[in-house]
Structure 1
């Protein structure tokens, strides 16, 4: 191919993402965490009628904050309440209404493509059924809700191709009920969910292990899709994909965003759904087939999680404001905001990605191209490959606006491969691994 025939490569640096990173405010985050702690307890079973105490007051305050943010962007956010009554559960013995507060910022080109940021409203102490004791929940998880509100404040000043969702979920401590509600609604309404980024404890820098570190964060992601069929598992056994679910490639995307746009932050990708034997609100989304990950601090302090407020022989227990580092809380919030913006400005991830090349000297990838408005910002595609033992994508080639490309003299047996879509401005989608193991879903 002559030089004049090579596709023009879109820019790889997006200065607007640095602007978004810098606009996230630690003071705004501190204000939100302080306000939420002030409600005394946000236990799912707590008071709902008071204006000053309990989860009902907290929910109404969060809703009013979303509405104020929307007013400042000429009504760009649709603020909705999702709710369902549960009873007879181990941690919800009596009929209780679980309520999510959700703000939706509709995309201009591809409104049915959803990129979702979540945090949890509720808090708890030692006894998971104790709905009356003070349960400040400063880090777990006022820090996550502060991140959701701050990301909405910053990103609502921009317009995006895809739809952004800022979700304050409830019922996490009682059994991930808020996530189940939202995932069910998304499934029923046919949302094309590109990513769920769950934030649960993003404000603590000093762990019970004695380590204080404000420069790392963990991203947890499942390796194989929970909804994988037996036939898909059989195919994966021969073609690979154990570490290339869409959730895992979202984690890689977040890691790259941190490296390129978030000062003094390194992402530790953890190849596990969540902490050992524990759970978070991305899980209900994974369980209905949506890609989702969890962002959180690296060093947890268990004396500040699910504990009654007390002092035992000079040892403080409880999740109070003193345990939150607000600049760090803001740093992880900016990681979310930049990730959301980059994904939403990019075209949709490639669909129907396939690969061939067995017993050949070259590898060929093919994919489906979106049509209509959702392709208006599409410039072309980038192919990626890496050694099978490498954790991140290390090699790539931009191939232009085509739907098939052969990588000559690159043997399929030696690498893992993927495809990403690239906008005219250079915003790139997550990488899609070929076949059902890596699929983000088709176009609608």
Structure 2
């Protein structure tokens, strides 16, 4: 039996100036515009950082620059990791993309042994037919490991899932060159190092997380997102309840000498607005409501920023390292593996260093006019990659520990009123002890500004609440929070 719980903030509790005659209120608006906007805050508090989880703090402290450097050095040592090299028969022993895949698989297995075989290590191997950058049928292998969560229903289902990935293939100036040196230190051995390091530190958590985590290294990115496209389709076909994907691509913090514009305190997080899979009717609704900035991928990006405020503090109390949110799917003229997951309807973001050096991407290793070209190890900042790994690990652990995403979030728009009535239901399979945060922000604000804590309704999975904040003036969202304070992704009406 469902019980509807209604909580109202009555008009008599409004500040006195909001009950003034219209003429008087207009004068207040002219003289003190800040006062005229206080109705946004009624019943709410400013959004602040969540309390840190000691177990997550301990895991982040285990992220190792040394291990990250060793991973990137090893991947560079394979000479070329061109996806096309999987079909070459004359490469030196231990060289090429297949040897790299075998090594990544062995690393996941080693990590699994250290945690009592807690990881399911897998290969997703397929033959890609001839395509624009695939001159003949080519074997492509994605390597991944699953840390099963406590919410997994059975041996076949994994429950809610979050995924982190980087691509282990590389290229030089000629994307069709399957033999030439292509070290790919930054693009994208750095992203693979993040995925492996997240697997290593999160697999050591003493308490299992409710949601499952997937740690991935894909191939075929440089040939056209081939590997990630196959894995994303596999996830869709197998019914993975994949709530978020973090794609790390070029996160090495390029260290070109003399580049004074590089920033080491931020990493860019790109996210799509209108979902790639939106139907015409959904696009019409997004345009009508103005919610292009509230797509699932945008909320995933905001979640990385929310987590950073909790876990990436500098010694001076300010943020030492944080995501810089970019409201577009990717950079100009470029693409990434997150798009493959977007195309299958999953929330996914791309994580990339602040300032790329194109002399050190997609270039043959050479000296030309006293300029060093090539994606070489010497231009990777391992401290920076470690910070990116911590951001990823903290985001994965927080979201996996959360109760999940509220469902059927709706605003009652059937009557004219200056307040707002919202309803929603608990996340599927959520454990007891959760509560909700009703969030809102001004329509031109980039992130959530105010929140109101809403207890879960005893004996019911449905909540209804009315607040004296006009739906015409703000955007609303709802997220579920467990008893320990782990915040889930925001769902918008």
Judge same fold: TM > 0.5, yes or no: yes
Inter-CA distance 83–393: structure 2 relative to 1 (3 Å threshold): same
Gaps of 5+ in 1: 435-444
Given that 1:55 and 1:122 are in contact with CA atoms closer than 8 Å, whether structure 2 keeps it comes out as yes
Q: 1:385 to 1:33 in 2, by over 3 A?
A: same
Paired residue secondary structure (1:201): coil
The separation in 1 between residues aligned to 2:97 and 2:136, in whole angstroms, is 16
Deviations 1:171-227, CA, capped at 9 Å, x for gaps: 000000111111111111111110010000111244796413211110000011111
Distance 1:206 1:365, change over 3 A: farther
Shift of 1:343: 0.5
Q: 1:355 & 1:15 partners in 2: Cα distance?
A: 37
Per the alignment, residue 382 of structure 1 pairs with 437
- Aligned ranges for residues 100-249 of structure 1 at < 5 Å? 100-110=142-152, 111-158=158-205, 159-206=208-255, 210-249=260-299
Choose which of 77, 80, 87 in structure 2 pairs with 1:41. 80
When Rg is computed on C-alpha atoms for both structures, the one with the higher figure is: 2
The list of structure 1 runs, each at least 4 consecutive aligned residues, that deviate by more than 6 angstroms after superposition, is none
1:283 aligns with 339
| Match of residue 441 from structure 1 | none
Partner of residue 94, structure 2: 52
Q: Which residue of 1 aligns with 2:316?
A: none
Aligned counterpart, 2:114: 72
2:351 is matched with: 295
1:238 deviation in Å? 2.0
Measured after TM superposition, the shift of residue 47 of structure 1 is: 4.8
Q: CA deviation at 1:378?
A: 4.7
Deviation string 1:301-345 (CA, Å, 9 cap, x unpaired) is 100000000001110000010010000010001100000000100
Partner of 2:124: 82
Distance in 2 between the 1:221 and 1:200 partners? Answer: 14
- Give the TM-score normalised by the residue count of structure 2: 0.83
Residue pair 2:255, 2:380 contacting (<8 A) in 1 also:
no
Distance 2:81 2:422 in 1: 50
RMSD: 1.9
Q: Separation in 2 of the partners of 1:356 and 1:47?
A: 56
Structure 2 vs 1, CA of residues 379 and 267 (structure 1 numbering), >3 Å: closer, same or farther? same
Q: For residue 439 of structure 1, what is the aligned residue in structure 2? A: none
SS of residue paired to 2:171: coil
Provide TM-score, normalisation by structure 1: 0.92
Which residue number corresponds to residue 342 of structure 1?
A: 398
Bigger shift: 32-41 or 362-371?
362-371
Aligned residues: 426
2:38 match: none
Q: How does 1:305-344 map to 2 (within 5 A)?
A: 305-344=361-400
